[in-house]
Amino acid sequence: MRQSNMLIPTLRELPKEAELPSHQLLLKAGYIRKLASGVYNFLPLGKKVLRKVENIVREEMDRAGAQEIQMPILQPAELWQTSGRWNTMGDELMRLKDRHERPFALGATHEEVVTSLIRDEVNSYKKLPLTVYQIQNKYRDEKRPRFGLLRGREFLMKDAYSFHEDFESLDETYNRLFEAYKRIFERCGLNFRAVIADSGAMGGKDTHEFMVLSDVGEDTIAYSDTSDYAANVEMAPVMSEYEKPNVEPKELKKIETPNAKTMQEVADYLGHSLKEGMKAIMFKVDDRFVMVVTRGDHEVNDVKVKNLCDAEIVELATEHETKSVMGAGFGSLGPINSPEEVEVVADHAVKYLVNASCGANEDGYHYTNVNPDRDFKVSQYADLRSIEEGDPSPDGQGTIKFAKGIEVGHVFKLGTLYADKLGGSFLNQQGKAESFVMGCYGIGVSRTLSAVVEQYHDENGLLWPDSLTPFDVHVINLNAKKSEQIEVADQVYESLKSQNFDVLYDDRQERAGVKFNDSDLIGIPYRVTIGKRANEGYVEFKHRKTGDQQDVHIDELVRFLNQLTK
Ligand code: 9G3
């Protein structure tokens, strides 16, 4: 393609509203342009790369036996009312009315649509298992769209749904698609981890997220430094062994701790470390109050609290609620003489404390020399704290390290949840009607493109892996005024095209500096420059990533490039 004809509006400056490299560079290099908050145009270069990501996803999904379909983005509200999500999904679900005032949702996801589709078309076990997928825009009215394509309100998603007679069949498909996801992200050149995740509102049991390691990621991954164990930090079980210090329990004392509010202030006032104190956090669990006690230096893990209480809703009690139930505020809570109606649970580490401190359930007062079992009882001890760096890896191999990750994929074992709600059933081998067992599998296609940029860029601009580059090679004619040089450059361009290279040919009337800056910014991995030695039949080849340059004779160029890219 001749660059003089191509819409590539590169910018001289970094756009100020963009903070992350991927957001900045995709704008600066003329790949995307914002239409509204979280809503983007893909310009020609951006669309070419987006299509390459899509095609990798499509190839691997087809190879895994999934069948591509296309479902409507316009979804009748009735479906969401039947599944109950019309009311539970708040403002994030974008809604509109048609000319007859009928309510619709803009597709945020397609569990309801796909279940209603397959319900009406498949009614025998003979047609199962079946996996369908689509690659289509999704709409979610994020409260704070930001970071360009990483968190948009309209974004391209591949969403797949599988239908099964039973969980054994679901496991087979889940594992096969899990492997397909690994191939997809490997082919995109990404450094990623598949992490054990929490199914959140989707219910079901197993679920994994595919996380691209990046400092700008919003999720924290706990991973083993020696095995491939990795989990969302909120999911990783804590396997730490504790031992009781062999000191004599002392007499319980209640002391005044004026103005000591935070754990640290109390610890400082009492002259001991955080880990010799206890933290008591009040949760509202469905419609009752639960006090969770952890060691002072540990973080309570609300996903673990939720799973322990097997609750629908778990949220922190407000200060007001706490005061009314406990008679004291956040900084003075403890398990000693807590009100009957408040269940007290504690993390395993608390059991091994001796002569610790805790709030006295009276503002401005704490207990010291507190000893579990002697001074307070808990309804149960459980793993209720978040794992920390240095903790033993739950798989028994190595120790845990933390990393930030960008979620680019998420796979779920849904079970019969949606089939039950929407009447999705089939006749089993005994002729009895049963609900479909389902799985669902998502990839953020436009988010993956941004995640690649986060891992592939340098101070000069984008730096695409060969699998995703918008063009195979960038041919630059340095002097578009000298006719013999134009002749050589045109000949190079035509000969590479004739060998099926996808070539971006910079034939513009621009200074060399502008051409080189734009080329570095656009990020095509290989560059052929036609310059001074053109009349000797030599062109300069440059490897964008390494900066290596060498002169190559025109007659050698095709063979040289074939070695590199094919
Ligand atoms: C909504 C809105 C936002 C949502 C959802 C529904 C996330 C929603 C979870 C999923 C589960 C899987 C199929 C592909 C893989 C992920 N945000 N989720 O269901 F109405 Cl506004 O999307 N769906």
Ligand 1 centre to CA of 201 (Å) is 9
196 with 270, same domain: the answer is: no
Q: What's the average model confidence in pLDDT over 418-424?
A: 96
Range 371-384 average pLDDT: 96
- Give burial (CB, 10 Å; 0-12/13-18/19+) of 312: exposed
CB-defined site of ligand 1, < 6 Å:
85, 89, 92-93, 108-109, 140, 159, 202, 410, 440-442
Write the single-letter amino acid at 458: D
The pLDDT-based confidence of 500 (bands split at 50, 70, 90) is very high
Task: Tell me, in angstroms, the distance from the centre of ligand 1 to residue 109's CA.
Answer: 5
Query: What pLDDT was estimated at residue 77?
Result: 98
Q: Which atom of ligand 1 is nearest to the CA of 80?
A: 20
- Residue 343 Cα to ligand 1 midpoint, Å, equals 33
CA count, 13 A, side-chain hemisphere, 293: 31
What number does the ligand 1 atom closest to the CA of 90 have?
21
Checking if the pLDDT of 437 tops 90, the result is yes
| Domain assignment of residue 274, yes or no | yes
Residues 317 and 444 in one domain: no
Domain membership of residue 243 (yes or no) is no
φ and ψ at residue 325, rounded to 5 degrees? -85, -40
CA neighbours closer than 13 Å in the CB half-sphere of residue 302: 12
Mean pLDDT of the chain: 95
- In this structure, the answer to whether residues 409 and 525 fall within a common structural domain is no
Average pLDDT over residues 368-380: 95
Answer yes or no: are the C-beta atoms of 331 and 266 closer than 8 Å: yes
Average pLDDT for 197-202 = 78
The CA angle 49-52-58, to the nearest 5 degrees, is: 145
Say if residue 439 is in the same domain as residue 349: no
**Which residue's C-alpha comes closest to atom 15 of ligand 1?**
442
566: pLDDT confidence band, cut at 50, 70 and 90? low
Q: Is residue 221 located within the same domain as residue 315?
A: no
**From ligand 1's centre to the CA of 158, what distance in Å?**
12
- 389 lies in a domain? no
> Quick check: 450 and 121 in contact, CB under 8 A?
no
Instruction: Choose the weakest-confidence range: 163-172, 263-272, 440-449.
Output: 263-272
To test the pocket of ligand 1, the residue of 92, 109, 177 to mutate (highest count of ligand atoms within 8 Å of its CB) is 109
Share of the chain above pLDDT 90, in %: 89
Q: Are residues 86 and 218 in the same domain?
A: yes
Rounded Cα distance, 353 and 431, in Å: 59
pLDDT at 39 over 90: yes
Q: Please give the distance, rounded to the nearest whole angstrom, from the Cα atom of residue 204 to the centre of ligand 1.
A: 14
Q: What is the DSSP string of 92-147?
A: TS-EEE-TT--EEEE-S--HHHHHHHHHHH--BGGG-SEEEEEEEEEE---SS-BT
Q: What is the pLDDT of residues 71-83, one digit of tens each?
A: 999 999 999 999 9
Q: Hey, how many other C-beta atoms are within 10 angstroms of the C-beta on 388?
A: 16
3-state secondary structure of 489: helix
Ligand 1 atom nearest the C-alpha of 92 is 21
Residues 317, 366 within the same domain: yes
Is-contact 205 221, C-beta < 8 A? no
Q: How confident is the model at residue 96 (pLDDT cuts 50, 70, 90)?
A: very high
d(CA 248, CA 233): 36
CA 150 – ligand 1 centroid, Å: 16
State the DSSP code for 318.
P
Are 73 and 184 in the same domain?
yes
Adjacent-strand bridge partners of 293 = 280, 346
Distance of CA 202 from the midpoint of ligand 1 (Å): 8
User: Looking at the structure, do residues 352 and 491 belong to the same domain, yes or no?
Assistant: no
Q: What is the mean pLDDT of residues 197-226?
A: 88
Please tell me the distance between residue 209's alpha carbon and the centre of ligand 1 in angstroms: 13
The DSSP annotation for 344-362 comes to EEEEGGGGG--SEEEE-SS
Q: Is residue 464 part of a domain?
A: no
Does residue 282 sit in the same domain as residue 321? yes
Length reported for the chain: 566
Q: Does 56 lie in the same domain as 29?
A: yes
Atom of ligand 1 nearest to the CA of 201: 9
Distance CA 176, CA 413 (A): 13
Strands 343-347 and 538-543 come out as unpaired
**Whether the Cβ atoms of residue 346 and residue 378 lie closer than 8 Å to each other:** yes
- Which residue among 382, 414, 430 closes a domain? 382
Boundary (domain end) residue, out of 335, 350, 382: 382
Tell me the pLDDT tens digit for each residue of 509-533: 999 999 999 999 999 999 999 998 9
CATH number at residue 556: 3.40.50.800
Find the angle CA(466)-CA(467)-CA(468) to the nearest 5 degrees.
95
Residue 245 within any structural domain of the chain:
no
What would the mean pLDDT of 362-379 be, rounded to a whole number?
94
Q: Which of 173, 84, 192 is nearest to 414 (CA)?
A: 173
Considering the domain boundaries, does residue 284 fall inside one? yes
Nearest atom in ligand 1 to 411's CA: 15
Q: Find the 520 Cα to ligand 1 centroid distance in Å.
A: 38
Contacts of residue 113, defined as CB under 8 A and 6 or more positions apart, other chains included, come to: 71, 72, 75, 79, 107
270 pLDDT band, cuts 50/70/90, is confident
Atom 10, ligand 1: residue with shortest CA distance: 109
What does DSSP say about strands 503-506 and 473-477: parallel, antiparallel, or unpaired? parallel
Q: Ligand 1 centre and the CA of 278: distance in Å?
A: 38
Kindly report the protein residue whose alpha carbon is nearest to atom 22 of ligand 1: 109
Identify the CA nearest to 203 among candidates 444, 443, 439: 439
What φ, ψ does residue 209 adopt, rounded to 5°? -110, 145
Residues 6+ apart with CB under 8 A from 352: 242, 243, 244, 245
Ligand 1 atom nearest to CA at 161: 13
Whether pLDDT at 422 is above 90: yes
Q: Is residue 10 part of a domain?
A: yes
- One-letter amino acid at 383 equals D
Q: Whose CA is nearest to atom 8 of ligand 1?
A: 109
In which domain, by residue range, is 88 found?
A: 3-236+401-453
Closest residue by Cα to atom 23, ligand 1, is 109
Number of domains in the chain: 3
Q: 318 and 296 in contact (C-beta within 8 Å)?
A: no
pLDDT at residue 313, as a whole number: 86
Name the 3-class secondary structure at 439.
strand
**What are the helix (H) ranges across 122-216?**
167-187
Decide if 273 contacts 267 (C-beta within 8 A): yes
Strand partners, 367: 254, 358
> Domain ends where: 390, 419, 453?
453
First-residue to last-residue Cα distance in the chain: 20
Same domain, 100 and 227: yes
Token pair belonging to 423:
């009447």
Going from the C-alpha of 246 to that of each of 22, 125, 253, 355, 381, the distances in angstroms are: 54, 63, 20, 11, 21
Distance of alpha carbon 92 from alpha carbon 491, whole angstroms: 54
Give how far Cα 463 sits from Cα of 18, 189, 438, 451, 545, Å.
Answer: 19, 12, 39, 12, 7
What integer pLDDT is reported at residue 310 of this predicted model? 86
Using the structure block, give the residue that is written with the tokens 């580059």.
469
| Per-residue pLDDT at 134 exceeds 80 | yes
Ligand 1 nearest atom to the CA of residue 157, by list position:
14
Which amino acid residue places its CA nearest to atom 9 of ligand 1? 202
The token pair that represents 249 in the structure block: 């329990």
> How far, in Å, is the centroid of ligand 1 from the Cα of 193?
21
Q: What is the pLDDT of residue 262?
A: 84
Residue 27 DSSP code: H
- Rounded to 5 degrees, φ, ψ at 560 are -60, -45
Closest ligand 1 atom, residue 200 Cα = 9
User: How many whole angstroms separate alpha carbon 35 and alpha carbon 259?
Assistant: 52
Output the pLDDT for position 546: 92
pLDDT at 205 over 80: no
Whole-model pTM above 0.75? yes
Closest CA to ligand 1's atom 17:
108
Q: CA torsion sign, 293 to 296 to 297 to 302?
A: positive
pLDDT of res. 279: 94
CATH (domain of 373) = 3.90.960.10
Report the C-alpha dihedral over residues 182, 185, 189, 192, rounded to 10 degrees: -80
Lowest mean pLDDT among 262-271, 355-364, 511-520, 521-530: 262-271
**Cα 225 from Cα 389, distance rounded (Å):** 10
For ligand 1, the distance from its centroid to the CA atom of residue 108, given in whole angstroms, is 6
Residue 20 CA, ligand 1 centroid: distance in Å: 25
Encoded tokens for 231 = 């989990």
In the three-class reduction of DSSP (H, G, I as helix; E, B as strand; rest coil), residue 36 is classed as: strand
Q: Which atom of ligand 1 is nearest to the CA of 89?
A: 20
User: How much is the pLDDT for 199?
Assistant: 75
Q: At residue 321, does pLDDT exceed 70? A: yes
Q: Name the residue with the closest Cα to ligand 1, atom 4.
A: 108
Using the predicted structure, report yes or no on whether residue 565 has a pLDDT greater than 80: no
pLDDT exceeds 80 at position 203 = no
Looking from the CA of residue 94, the nearest atom of ligand 1 is 21
Q: Within a domain: residue 246? A: no
* CATH classification of the domain holding 154: 3.30.930.10
- What is the DSSP secondary structure assignment for residue 277, as one 8-state letter? B
pLDDT at 482: 87
Confidence of residue 65 (pLDDT cuts 50, 70, 90): very high
